[in-house]
Structure 1
Amino acid sequence: MFTFHFPFLEFTEFRCRRALLPCLLLGGVAQAAAPDPLGPLEGVRQFMATFTPDPAERSLLAYARRERLDWAATQNLFAAQVHDAPNHYLEWRGHSGLDPAGQTFTVVRAATFLRSGQALLVLTREWCAAGRCESRTTFAWQGPGGWKSVPEGSVIPLIRDADFAAGSVPACLRGVTLGVQYVPARQGTALHALPLVPAAAQQRCESAGVNMTTATRPLRLNWTPSVGKFRR
């Protein structure tokens, strides 16, 4: 079910010789067949073609775009890659010491959710450096009509800060605007929304003895093909 890709030329050549099957090498990554036009791999490729990273984004995808790397070189930045084609899911992990801030670890998660000959791509980039993590999520429709980014609000239901509270909102979080990180499920058609607490508020909560893992909760959003949106 899962395909693990190790972007190293030696491993790829060994696998081709053992299998006695023709392999197409693209920058050291073996591509056995054309990607699914509705799959996440094709979605990420099309995303990279027009991606203009925010100056604050330090993910490896942002680095690849700023350095104008081609598609094969971009994939080779990630030492561990999981492609789960039947479940329309991929996950890439890699790290780099090229950032002035020091070592940066990136996790890319992408999934496509099908609807009538097209698919909604959910692409999340999470990067961590110096003990602090940030993330960005892109939503886009892909299919025969092309690839088009869409606003979060067009496919995600309204989520209020209070929705993340596991009980009563602790004093250290009152009036605090939370961020949201979206994580697609490895299997199925769910999307998890995780609360992101600003660093200053998190420090206040820790000083007050508030355990954030019990004070907040993730939300599960379910893909609804009939309307092309997620619902709670």
Structure 2
Amino acid sequence: MLRPTHALMALLGSAALAAAPPAPLPDSALLGGLRSFLGTFTPTPGETSLLAYARTEALDWTAFQNLFSMQVTDTRARYLDWRGHTAMPTGSVFTTLRAATYPAGARTLLVVNREWCTAGSCQTRTVFGWLDGGRPGTMTMSAVKDATVIPLIRDADFFAGPVPPCLKGVALTVTYVPAWQGSTLAALAVAPRAAQQTCAQAGITPEAATRPLKLTWSPSTSKFRKGW
């Protein structure tokens, strides 16, 4: 799965990432929620992300944080972006971890997106979960399906113009990436590997042929809605 990059920074905002690993941060609703997520995290088969490594090695919270050499954590904006890499027999693997919280009355939705890349190929997963009202250090997360908080999105929504021949009739998957500002979420279309290869042979980049969708959080309905 190729890494989706088109127009993404415009949606997520830009930031200078610190070069040195920061000291572990105290828990907040955001960090407490992430810590709860990690407590029940199960890697996908064959996953090589830093999250999978931490689970395999049974690392504690502090050791997990120290795996990421570049970190942005904005607890006031309820957003974090951590990045790190590890050496594997197949080459270096780069992991990007993004998370954000979205309050809705007494409840808070946590969205965690992880992406791991090696040799120019990336895989990504997004998890949604409601956090309980406990203190940050004792929070629990109840995972929910994306359809319970995401509006219906059709493949046609990702195309502003004609669909390239290499993508006609192709079922797209969607990855959701938390945004730094504005209580929003970016929905990105991802083409299957076979379709990516077909498009590449035709000189077409699927990421350039599709557009990201901006989803805005609605606390009153506890769901995201489409639209700018």
- With structure 1 as the length reference, what TM-score do the two structures score? 0.82
1:105 maps to which of 79, 86, 94: 94
TM-aligned CA distance change 1:81 to 1:214, over 3 Å: closer
Find the aligned partners of 1:197 and 1:84 in 2 and give their Cα distance: 32
Structure 2: which amino acid aligns with 1:184?
P
Structure 1: stretches of 5+ with no match in the other structure: 9-28
1:35 aligned onto 2:27: yes
2:77 corresponds to 1:63: no
- Cα distance, 1:176 vs structure 2: 1.3
Distance in 2 between the 1:188 and 1:176 partners? Answer: 32
Question: In the TM superposition, what whole-angstrom CA distance separates every residue of 1:1-36 from its partner, at most 9, and x where no partner exists?
Answer: 99959436xxxxxxxxxxxxxxxxxxxx344xx422
Q: Offset of 1:201 from its aligned partner?
A: 1.0
Match of 1:164 among 134, 147, 158: 158
Q: How does 1:51-200 map to 2 (within 5 A)?
A: 51-97=41-87, 99-144=88-133, 146-200=140-194
- Report the number of matched residues: 207
Whether 2:21 is the aligned partner of 1:7: answer: yes
The amino acid of 1:204's aligned partner reads T
Q: Normalized against structure 2, the TM-score is what?
A: 0.84
- The corresponding residue for 2:34 is 44
Quote the residue 1:229 is aligned against.
223
Distance 1:205 1:2 in 2: 33
Worse-matched range after superposition: 158-167 or 220-229:
158-167
Q: Deviations over 1:25-53 (max 9, x none)?
A: xxxx344xx422x32x1111001111111
Q: Which amino acid is the alignment partner of residue 104 of structure 2?
A: R
- Note closer, same or farther for the CA distance 1:76–1:224 as it changes in structure 2 (3 Å cut): same
| Offset of residue 159 of structure 1 | 1.5
Q: Structure 2 regions of 5+ residues with no counterpart? A: 1-14, 135-139
Label 1:211 to 1:96 Cα distance change in 2 as closer, same or farther (>3 A): closer
Q: 2 CA distance for matches of 1:122 and 1:182?
A: 9
Larger Rg: 1
Pick closer, same or farther for the CA change 1:162–1:76 going to 2, 3 Å.
same
Q: What amino acid maps onto 1:94 in structure 2?
A: G
**AA aligned opposite 1:88:** R
Structure with higher RCO (Cα < 8 A, 6+ apart)? 2
Instruction: Decide whether aligned partners of structure 1 residues 152 and 193 sit closer, same or farther in structure 2, where only a CA change above 3 A counts.
Output: same
Residues 84, 167 of structure 1: alpha-carbon distance in 2 compared, 3 angstrom cutoff: same
Inter-partner Cα distance in structure 1 for 2:37 and 2:70 = 20
Amino acid at match of 1:52: T
Does the aligned pair in 2 maintain the 1:90–1:109 contact within 8 Å? yes
Q: What are the within-5 Å matches in structure 2 for residues 21-32 of structure 1?
A: 29-31=23-25
- Relative to structure 2, which stretch is displaced further, 190-199 or 122-131? 190-199
Shift of 1:106: 0.3
The alpha-carbon distance between structure 1 residues 132 and 30, as it changes in their structure 2 partners (threshold 3 A), is closer
